[in-house]
Structure 1
Amino acid sequence: MCHDKFPTASRLGQHMVGTHKRPGPNACDLCHKSFFKKSALMTHRATIHKIGPVVIEKKKKDKVCETCGKGFSSTAVLANHIRTHTGERPWHCPDCPATFKANGTLQAHLMSIHDKTVNRLGQEKKADKICCDVCGRQFISPSALRLHYDFHHLKKKTKHHCEICDKYFLSAHDLRTHSNTHTRVPCDSCGKKFKDQEALSKHLKKHSLPSWKGPYKCRSCDVTYSARNNMYEHYKLKHLHLKKEDRVTIKNLFKLDKEVEVIRLENK
């Protein structure tokens, strides 16, 4: 007899059938398999023996959160949700100070940060990694290695395609990060770029501050700043048409009776 614990009767039934080979009350008349739930038997007959429709059992979300009223299908999922309200983080990493609201998040942390997996008995073991023969990078699964190899070494195209510049990316996250470079909105006054028009509008208010809040007025336009370095950056980008990374010294910028001199510095 084992001492494994399961959150639901369904999980326990799956464990009993798969691990201990205990027969369920719903036997298949076409093969030796049996199931604890009738819906599982019907799904088996439909997918394996091609008889009847596939039955998708929807779990009732009758476990309700008293704080926000949201429903969940199990007490375990509800308990994880409640921690979003209480801030409780009962799962502690044994190797660092990190804490987590759910055990699943802890397991992902252990695997990605500490290269470990933990079984149901709390026993730790090192996650075996697979090495890429071409570049030496390591991966935790053959599927991850295959994605890496196909994309980076075989140069295969993926479904994550940028329609603007025709580039391909390994993941949807990489594509979203890249897409932000196309949608950023520039400020005409200082050259800074922002993720959307709303962020740009908030930034533009800094350029329209009254003189008592922005004593440094541009000598070539009506923009004012509350800090000298911001004015310096504005003049460099807007009126000298230089790049942010260009190393220059702007002399006489705040001496209106003298001409501005630009001295280029050698890059290190």
Structure 2
Amino acid sequence: MSVATELKTFPCDICGVSFSQKSNLNSHMRVHTGEKRFSCEVCESSFSRKENFITHMRMHTGEKPYSCEICHFAFAAKSRLKRHMFTHIGDKAFSCKTCRSEFSTKKTFKEHMRTHTGVEALNCEICAASFCYKSALIQHMRVHTGDKPFNCEICAASFSQKSHLKNHRRIHSGEKPFSCGICASSFSAKSSLTIHMRIHSGDKPFSCEICKSSFSHESNLTKHIRVHTGEKPFTCEICQSSFSQKSNLNDHMRVHTGEKRFSCEICASSFSRKQHFKNHLRLHSGEKPFSCEICGFSFSDKSNLTKHLRIHTK
């Protein structure tokens, strides 16, 4: 019997997923039991699967055995190399072997597979988000309830996820166990390293379905989508002005409070917005990075270049 036609005779009694080998079913069961047999002695992370543990250890050793034949970028995990390759060929990473449908994200692929397996999705009754596992749904519900059962013993900060508390504790300890093998930057959270690595790889896995712009971070895509929808979910409680980004609302609030966080060490001028502060510093440095392509005249502030260009368009 070929691999393609091999029967999956070992079903999970909890979620109904079936496996062709009993060892794979045993590994899968740890998802439900929460058992994590493989522990890292360096940072105390633990894993339910040996292969995930081996991949994790490479973050500490710096070993990257999987290399891209096109750009020679190296990865600690084969799955990351596979994902990276799609940046070169522009394809979709996840293919359904049943109906040949293709998907760019694992989440949409797993949701699609339920149409073939008959396994029902676990849906949030409040926002209709769906999940593969009950534990993920329970974790998600804390977004709505505000429940934060994991507390920091040092500063009393609380978190909805245990992993977030673990990352937070490193702020107090100063521990940064996740190191970049290219530029030696180090991070307290694995997710931060993953995002950082995209600077080197150029990987932008989050794409806008409207204009095809792509982003290295999902939050940047969320912000970008608001350009198309016009959504401005962050509202000033004082004057009711609305903004598409929380950072813009924070900047705006300083108009009301009079706070000026950014101070010039040369002339003691102070500014409420970082961008205004950066523009001011160019007055001292003489830097003029914005140049007119028509006459070559340069400016320290982009807005001044925009005004100048009207001279040529009259």
TM-score above 0.5, yes or no: no
| Higher Rg | 1
| Higher helix content, 1 or 2 | 2
Q: What is the TM-score normalised by the length of structure 1?
A: 0.38
